[in-house]
Amino acid sequence: MSTITPDILRQWRHEFHRHPETAFEEQRTSARIAEILDARGIEMVTGLGGGTGVVAWVDGCRGSGSAIGLRADIDALDVTEANAFAHASRTPGKMHACGHDGHTTMLLGAAWALADNPDFAGRVYFIFQPAEENEGGGRVMVEEGLFERFPMEAVYGVHNWPGLAVGEAAVHETAVMAAFDVFTVKLSGYGCHAAMPHLGKDVVLAACQLVSQLQGIVSRETPAHQTAVLSVTQFHAGDAYNVMPETVELCGTVRCFDPELRHYIEARFRQAIASLATFHGLEASIDYQSRYPATFNTPAHANRCAEVLEAMPDIRQVHRDMPPSMASEDFAFMLQQCPGAYIWLGNGKDSAALHNPHYDFNDELTPLGVAYWTTLVRTLLG
């Protein structure tokens, strides 16, 4: 009989939520994960993925067999929490606004449950990965030799999904999440008195035109059957009412799925800025970074995950036709190196959105996530 109960899972999750840590700073979180694993006698290696990642494992009692990996992200976000409940963040400016506290708890619960009843053949690796938000902890773990050091035939991931009811899931056959690029553009001109704009080079006018012009790359140059998003999210210029500034800085992100389209958008992005800068007599600098590749499931593994979910009594519906998300996920780096699948579990139809200061992981989902992980293991490694 498993020693894991919903109350224990809730206690763990609330503790993680109260003490959020962001990318590569998850020292307390990592130490607590190791402490919980050690309390159940589960073997592990710590200090991975830049120093805060953990990989643990449980061997089945049925003898030798395949090895698979289950992954959870452990980091929080630079968001100020707006919730007032007892387990709200105690760290100013940081919160678990994406549910990684719940993902970590579900994987810990699965590790305990499988250690209590290892009724399978082979080995299960539990991958606690840091720095999913923006900083590519998944890439770091892969580059450090995750799959060489811990050989596995497949790797699987889960994310909670607001808008889907608890008891619903979504499985994509191929594309799940978009590729993720970021950019910073600096335009430099000549400042002057705002009453005499003819004496300067107006970077604000140029930047406003640029924000509109860049949208044409998506709306007029991207094939209609492909999906892409280009969003300018920051605009920094000036500090006075009557001074035309010398510089303006624009920041934002580009998302798409197709690698060739991704390269095309970057090339046209650079051309558009160079042309605009020439027209306005400005200098331009561009910092364009390709962060995460698109997340693609291996179809056969996605289908097995869907079948497992459809056979679970507490899963009421499995959506196989939901469109992929334009959000991004560094689990993509793991799926580039190892077959597997990444699925969504409903966090509640009325749940606040991911990355929202009012968001909270739904504690009702935690036991269901543990059940999914353990059922998947016993199905695949039966």
Q: In the chain, what are the domain boundaries?
A: 6-177+294-380, 179-291
Q: Indicate the pairing of strand 179-188 with strand 247-256.
A: antiparallel
d(CA 30, CA 21): 10
- Judge whether 301 and 341 are in contact, CB under 8 Å: yes
The question of whether 75 is a catalytic residue gets the answer yes
Residue 220 CB neighbours (<10 A): 7
d(CA 164, CA 64): 38
Give the pLDDT band of residue 2 (cuts 50, 70, 90).
Answer: low
d(CA 221, CA 214): 10
Name the residue type at position 382. Answer: G
Name the residue type at position 154. Answer: A
Q: What is the 3-state secondary structure (H, E, C) of 4-62?
A: CCHHHHHHHHHHHHHCCCCCCCCHHHHHHHHHHHHHCCCEEEEEECCCCEEEEEEECCC
Give me the CATH topology for the region 6-177+294-380: Aminopeptidase (3.40.630)
Residue 187 CB neighbours (<10 A): 26
- Judge whether 244 and 194 are in contact, CB under 8 Å: yes
Name the residue type at position 185. Answer: V
Marked catalytic residue, from 132, 181, 202, 360: 132
Q: For residue 338, which phi and psi values (nearest 5 degrees)?
A: -150, 135
What would the two tokens of residue 103 be? 């993902």
For 84-141, write each residue's pLDDT tens digit: 999 999 999 999 999 999 999 999 999 999 999 999 999 999 999 999 998 999 999 9
E strands present in the chain: 43-48, 53-59, 67-73, 123-129, 154-162, 168-170, 175-177, 179-188, 192-193, 228-237, 243-244, 247-256, 283-292, 295-296, 317-319, 340-348
Residue 165 predicted with pLDDT over 70: yes
The question of whether 15 is a catalytic residue gets the answer no
- Judge whether 32 and 105 are in contact, CB under 8 Å: no
For 169-202, write each residue's pLDDT tens digit: 999 999 999 999 999 999 999 999 999 999 999 9
Marked catalytic residue, from 21, 26, 75, 181: 75
What residues form the annotated binding site for Mn(2+)?
Answer: 98, 100, 133, 159, 355
Residue 330 predicted with pLDDT over 70: yes
Residue 3 predicted with pLDDT over 90: no
d(CA 181, CA 54): 27
What residues form the annotated binding site?
Answer: 98, 100, 133, 159, 355
d(CA 350, CA 344): 16
Residue 1 predicted with pLDDT over 80: no
Mean pLDDT of the 361-368 span: 98
Contacts of residue 219, Cβ cutoff 8 Å, sequence gap at least 6: none
Give the pLDDT band of residue 289 (cuts 50, 70, 90).
Answer: very high
Q: Which CATH class is domain 179-291?
A: alpha beta
For 117-133, write each residue's pLDDT tens digit: 999 999 999 999 999 99
Based on the number of CB atoms within 10 Å of its own CB, is 26 exposed (0-12), middle (13-18) or buried (19 or more)? buried
Give the pLDDT band of residue 382 (cuts 50, 70, 90).
Answer: confident
Q: How far is CA 256 from the centre of its chain?
A: 15
Mean pLDDT of the 291-319 span: 97
Looking at residue 233, the DSSP 8-state letter turns out to be: E
Looking at residue 362, the DSSP 8-state letter turns out to be: -
